Structure 1
Amino acid sequence: MQTRTRDGLVLLLVGVLLGGGLAWLLGRRRESPPAAPRALDAVPAGALLVATLDLPALRASPAFASFLREEREIPGLGKVRDVCGFDPLAGLTEVAIAIPAAGEGGDFGLVAAGAVQAEALLACASKVIEARGGKPVVAGLGSFRAVRDSSDEGRGEIAVRPGGPILLGGGAYLRAMVDAAEGRAATVGASGAHDHIARAVGEGAARVTVVLTPEQRAELGRELALSGAGRAPAASIVAGGAAVALGPEIAVHGAVLCDAEAPCAELGAQLRAARDARAGDLATRLIGLGAVLERVAIAADGKALHARVKLSAEEAGALVERLASLRGLRQPSLAPREPPAPREPPAPAEPPALGGSAAPRGDAGAPPPDAILTPRRRPVPDDAGAP
């Protein structure tokens, strides 16, 4: 075999091996499962408020685990697991809540990511709608399938696709979330303002960011001016947010971004005064919040204002429990209440005999304990105004 022929065969063999290896790698890439969707990937750009929850971190925290592990109920129907046959929230890992800046009052969207049982979730939602007297309608919405109550157009819709995410919203905003999830529209991740305030408060198992539009800032300034506050430092607020980081201690970090340094420093002074006044309030101290407020450190840093406080896990758990009981966040028992026994109206008092008064008969003529007594007016004599 000639040297030239031998070299050509070697090069051909190397090419085949390289081509086969490259094809194998590309095939493995195609076979590998796509990255799990993130909740923020379905939040459209232009949101006023965005809140995110890291559910595994919250479930692992002693301060919040009891609220996420307890049996969830559907008001009027019973436990979710009994109604649906499974708990749709059990496999979720992340939740995002968004309020659009340009939406009508009451508009909001919720995105949930994690292990999603798409068909079972649609069946469960349909069952709930029927149990409440509605008419469920399931329809395609891009790569999603959505269910809504056709008998009540004002309610929201639930949309889901295999692998997630789950979308909850209404009307045009739900469709905007579908477009964002499918890559046809910009997401909130493209918002520099939300990213700026998120970096200011840092990472957290729970985080919320708020970005005001120029129109909202102008309206805030007008309202403060009408209230007599003049150019109040609050009118300089551009964005704000807070994050809760979990660990051996619960760290809460809030931040406000201003359009200038001077009003941010003035706002810090006002917040410190409000903190001191609120910390000494009796009602605040009774629920255990006074001692926490006293430890809140508020300091301005250029055009940013920061507030920080740390709590032990036990302290945070007790505080959350008190606030939940005060705000009624826990769902009440669904056991039917017995209607109160009807109260019999009091027997009418016997009119007094002419020329005398009725003889007292124990308390038979007395008004019931909750009656409102109206004093009788004495008749005015005909000559009351005569000289």
Structure 2
Amino acid sequence: MQTRTRDGLVLLLVGVLLGGGLAWLLGRRRESPPAAPRALDAVPAGALLVATLDLPALRASPAFASFLREEREIPGLGKVRDVCGFDPLAGLTEVAIAIPAAGEGGDFGLVAAGAVQDQALLACASKVIEARGGKPVVAGLGSFRAVRDASDEGRGEIAVRPGGPILLGGGAYLRAMVDAAEGRAATVGASGAHDDIARAVGGGAARVTVVLTPEQRAELGRELALSGAGRAPAASIVAGGAAAALGPEIAVHGAVLCDAEAPCAELGAQLRAARDARAGDLATRLIGLGAVLERVAIAADGKALHARVTLSAEEAGALVERLASLRGLRQPSLAPREPPAPAPSEPPALGGSAAPRGDAAPRGDAAPRGDAAPRGDAGAPPPDAIIAPRRRPGPDDAGAP
């Protein structure tokens, strides 16, 4: 075989192998499953606020894992697993919350991505609606199926499709999220301002970005002018945000973007003064926030203002628990209040004189004792009654000065 002929056959064989390998790779690419949807892919453009949560990172953090425990409950119905037969949040990996810049005050949207059981989720939502006395209606919404309560048009809807994401919203905004998820409308990823503030604060397990519209900035400037603040530095704010990166330490980075350098520097000075004043406040120090505020570093960098603080995981966990406890104490109790005990028919005499009976007004100077417990909704006793109750003068003290 001639050398030229042999070389030609070798080249032909190599070409066949390369062509076959390329065709095989292209075929594998076509057969590979599509990328899992991201939560932000269903957030429509024009959002005022966008917040994202990395659920696996939060579950792995000692400071936040307790808030994602499986013993979640549906108020009035019981544990989620008992009602639904499964935990809808167990397989989720990402959550995004959005508030549109244009819309009514109650408009918002929630998008959840991850492992989604679409049929089971719709069945669970329908069961919850029925248990609350509503009438569930399931209908198609593009590639999604949505369930809502037909007896209460003011409430939101839940929409889901195989593979996700899960959408929660109401009315026109839910449909805008469906359009964004299906590629028929622009998403928040097309917003340069949200991208700018997201880059300024960096990545994190939790992140929130806020972008003001020109109309909102103009309204803010007018309100500040009416309050006598003139052209306050806050009127120059274009966007703001914050991110929390989790690890052995928790790093929180906040940022504000301004329309000029000078107002950003002035805003930084105001925030440092407010930080110092708040850090010294007694109530702030009691919950452990004062020491954290003292460590917040605030510095201007051109048209950006940055605030940074780092906490240990133990410190962050203790602070989160304290804040959650305070929030729980302020929640009104859902348990029925017990009726007050009836007053005795013959109350004991105080200082030799009869005390007022029932709800009758006291006679003369016979005022109730300062340490007496309040009745019904009379409110808590005054602070000085708790700290140092006064003794009501008795008959033996009549001659005392």
Change (3 A) 1:8 1:223: same
Q: Could you say which residue in structure 2 is the equivalent of 1:215?
A: 215
Change (3 A) 1:167 1:376: closer
Change (3 A) 1:3 1:365: closer
Misfit runs of 4+, over 2 Å: 1-27, 328-341, 346-387
Change (3 A) 1:359 1:144: closer
Deviation at 1:326, TM superposition (A): 1.2
Change (3 A) 1:314 1:139: same
Q: Could you say which residue in structure 1 is the equivalent of 2:162?
A: 162
Q: Could you say which residue in structure 2 is the equivalent of 1:351?
A: 347
Deviation at 1:2, TM superposition (A): 12
Structure 2 distance, partners of 1:364, 1:12, is: 98
**1:238·1:258 contact (CA, 8 Å) conserved in 2?**
yes
**2:340·2:376 contact (CA, 8 Å) conserved in 1?**
no
**2:70·2:90 contact (CA, 8 Å) conserved in 1?**
no
Of stretches 373-382 and 226-235 in structure 1, the one that deviates more from structure 2 is 373-382
Structure 2 distance, partners of 1:15, 1:33, is: 29
**1:55·1:95 contact (CA, 8 Å) conserved in 2?**
yes
Q: TM-score, normalised by structure 1?
A: 0.84
Change (3 A) 1:354 1:282: closer
Structure 2 distance, partners of 1:148, 1:172, is: 14
Question: What are the residue-to-residue correspondences of 1:36-51 with 2, within 5 Å?
Answer: 36-51=36-51
**1:111·1:165 contact (CA, 8 Å) conserved in 2?**
yes
Deviation at 1:17, TM superposition (A): 5.7
Of stretches 362-371 and 374-383 in structure 1, the one that deviates more from structure 2 is 374-383
Of stretches 215-224 and 370-379 in structure 1, the one that deviates more from structure 2 is 370-379
Change (3 A) 1:264 1:23: same
**2:126·2:147 contact (CA, 8 Å) conserved in 1?**
yes
Deviation at 1:25, TM superposition (A): 2.8
Deviation at 1:27, TM superposition (A): 2.7
Change (3 A) 1:17 1:249: closer
Of stretches 85-94 and 68-77 in structure 1, the one that deviates more from structure 2 is 68-77
Change (3 A) 1:332 1:56: farther
Query: How many residues were matched structurally?
Result: 383
Structure 1 distance, partners of 2:333, 2:378, is: 40
Structure 2 distance, partners of 1:176, 1:185, is: 8
Deviations 1:220-263 (A, max 9, x none): 00000011111110000000000001111111110000001111
Deviation at 1:64, TM superposition (A): 0.7
Change (3 A) 1:164 1:379: closer
Deviation at 1:328, TM superposition (A): 2.5
Structure 2 distance, partners of 1:76, 1:168, is: 21
Please give the secondary structure, in 1, of the residue aligned with 2:395: coil
Deviation at 1:12, TM superposition (A): 8.3
Q: TM-score, normalised by structure 2?
A: 0.81
Structure 1, unaligned runs of 5 or more? none
**1:73·1:331 contact (CA, 8 Å) conserved in 2?**
no
**2:374·2:380 contact (CA, 8 Å) conserved in 1?**
no
Deviations 1:313-352 (A, max 9, x none): 11000000011111239999988776666xxxx8999999
Deviations 1:103-132 (A, max 9, x none): 110100000001100000000000000000
Structure 2 distance, partners of 1:234, 1:361, is: 48
